[in-house]
């Protein structure tokens, strides 16, 4: 019999396999939770075990369908808050709406701030996000944010494959990602760098 733990990990429906791997790594069982949709699409969440006084981690990415997954996360947070969880951490591997983090034109919404407010008001105490679109998104939260990077894991994986730099190209999806892509390429023995120009739909390639 496993020792009693005050940590509870619950999975949303966005990526249950990832949640299971996290729980396995932590040496705990995934919490029992009932998530379903009503006929009109509304999200229903019920925790099927006590979380009173526990530190709860909710694993739910806001990937496509972004709106459904975001609403599911909010309802999960609310359920934990009403069940008297001690702390609630929203683990968001992919943070949707993060690209809308500033106003490029007039009359635009800064949706990243709106989503941050929703998560905070729902009752989350902390957010753990991975590779946010930009670091400034962390400042939109009025709660603590842990921003983790996937680059070290990917670099270790590629190094284990012993891929020749002649067969490897690092691509930045836009001009804004060039600095990150260049740093990535340098750590891969100065692999070639390509930049996608979204305006003219061409790819420009250059050696670092």
Spatial contact of 89 and 55, defined as CB atoms under 8 Å apart: yes
pLDDT of residue 48: 97
pLDDT at 205: 52
Give the chain's domains with CATH numbers: 7-148 (3.40.50.2020), 151-206 (3.40.50.2020)
Q: Distance (Å, rounded) from C-alpha 105 to C-alpha 101?
A: 12
Per residue of the chain (208 residues), give pLDDT as tens. 344 569 999 999 999 999 999 999 999 999 999 999 999 999 999 999 999 999 999 999 999 999 999 999 999 999 999 999 999 999 999 998 888 777 778 888 888 899 999 999 999 999 999 888 776 777 678 899 999 888 888 888 887 887 777 788 989 887 777 888 888 888 888 888 998 876 655 555 555 4
Query: What was the pLDDT predicted at 5?
Result: 65
Please report the pLDDT score of residue 77 as a whole number: 98
Secondary structure in 3-state letters for the chain: CCCCCCEEEEECCCCHHHHHHHHHHHCCCECCEEEEECCCCCEEEEECCCCECCEEEEECCCCCCHHHHHHHHHHHHHHHHHCCECEEEEEECCCCCCCCCCCCCCCCCCHHHHHHHHHHHHCCCEEEEECCCCHHHHHHCCCEEEEECCHHHHHHHHHHHCCCHHHCCEEECCHHHHHHHHHHHHCCCCCCEEEEECCCCEEEEECC
Q: Using only C-alpha atoms, what is the Rg of the chain?
A: 20
On whether the pTM is more than 0.85, the answer is: no
Q: What is the pLDDT of residue 10?
A: 98
Residue 76 in contact with residue 89, Cβ under 8 Å? no
**Bridge partners of residue 36, in order along the sequence:** 44
Q: Report how far residue 161's alpha carbon sits from residue 149's, in angstroms, rounded to the nearest whole number.
A: 20
Cα–Cα distance, 176 to 138 (Å, whole number):
18
């Amino acid at each position: 019999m496993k020792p009693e733990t005050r940590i509870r990990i619950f999975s949303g429906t966005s990526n249950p396999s990832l949640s299971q791997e996290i729980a396995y790594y932590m040496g705990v069982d995934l919490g029992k939770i009932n998530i379903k949709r009503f006929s009109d699409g509304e999200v229903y969440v019920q925790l099927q075990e006590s979380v009173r006084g526990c530190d709860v981690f909710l694993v739910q990415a806001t990937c496509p369908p972004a709106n459904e997954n975001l609403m599911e996360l909010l309802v999960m947070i609310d359920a934990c808050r009403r069940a008297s969880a001690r702390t609630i951490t929203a683990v968001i591997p992919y943070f949707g709406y993060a690209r809308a983090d500033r106003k490029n034109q007039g009359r635009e919404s800064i949706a990243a701030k709106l989503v941050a407010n929703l998560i905070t008001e729902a009752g989350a105490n902390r957010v753990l996000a991975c590779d946010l679109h930009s670091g400034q998104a962390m400042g939109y939260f009025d709660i603590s944010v842990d921003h983790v990077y996937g680059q070290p894991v990917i670099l270790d994986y590629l190094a284990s494959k012993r891929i020749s730099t002649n067969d490897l190209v690092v691509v930045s999806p836009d001009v804004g990602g060039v600095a990150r892509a260049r740093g990535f390429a340098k750590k891969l023995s100065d692999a070639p760098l390509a930049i996608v120009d979204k305006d003219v739909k061409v790819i420009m390639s250059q050696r670092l």
